[in-house]
Amino acid sequence: MMRLNKFLSSCGVASRRKCDELISQGRVTVGGKVVQELGVSVNEKKDVVCVDGERVMLPNELVYLKLNKPKGYACTAKDEKGRKTIFDLVKSDVRLFNVGRLDYDTEGLIFLTNDGNFANLITHPKFHIEKEYQVTIEGEIKESEIAVLRAGVVENGVRMPKAKVKFLSYDGKNTKLSVVIDEGQNRQVRRMFDCIGKTIVLLKRIRIGSVRLGGLSRGKTKPMTAEEIESFK
């Protein structure tokens, strides 16, 4: 027997937390009956489990891909606004889901897999997996403003998590910085710079854990190496 959210995640539907949402929304059936109770277990070899009417089954092989997401693509299998999604860029014979998200206007490294346990290792807050971004902002930035980002900016009276921030360059027009976070709140990096009145020109994720984007071209995928996968386990 296997918990339903783990089964769905292992089938490549989504992360466990997202699968809990699907269950609560009444979008999952087991043996033809809607299941909305969290914590239910299923027989992964016998039970017929469907999501939105489509049967899901455990994969025969596990797939791990790196994608260099371009701007202008949504991190979802199907976008409500009809926009292009990252899955328009991916060719795969198995059902994959994205590990975490990047904003529509943010580019860079994101993982695609059908391994729910792997996704949980990366996305669960308790593991504190670092994510590094290259941030280009308009104009210059003061050392005092960098210090505020490092300490955690205050937004609506609430202090955001600390960040590792390093100045990279200034070309007379824009400033480039490296920003490393390990929590991943919604639109965290953009909100940080909004709080100090800075406009982001380009936001690009270049590293997750020890895995780097490297020279992967925009819109292209590449299988993760065994060493990259094991670095999270």
165 is written with which tokens? 């921030």
Question: Which among 131, 99, 116, 119 is positioned nearest to 209, based on CA atoms?
Answer: 131
Residue 169 burial (CB count, 10 A): 9
Q: Which residues contact 54 (CB under 8 A, 6 or more apart)?
A: none
Whether 107 and 219 have beta carbons less than 8 Å apart is answered as: no
Catalytic residue among 20, 103, 182, 194: 103
Instruction: Please tell me the distance from the alpha carbon of residue 49 to that of residue 72, in angstroms, as a whole number.
Output: 34
Q: Which residues of 197-207 are buried (b: 16+ CB within 10 A; e: fewer)?
A: ebebebbbbbb
* 93 in active site: no
Ranges of beta strands (E only) in the chain are 2-3, 28-30, 33-34, 41-42, 49-51, 54-55, 64-69, 97-99, 107-113, 131-138, 154-155, 158-159, 164-170, 174-181, 200-208, 211-212, 221-223
Q: Which residues are catalytic?
A: 103
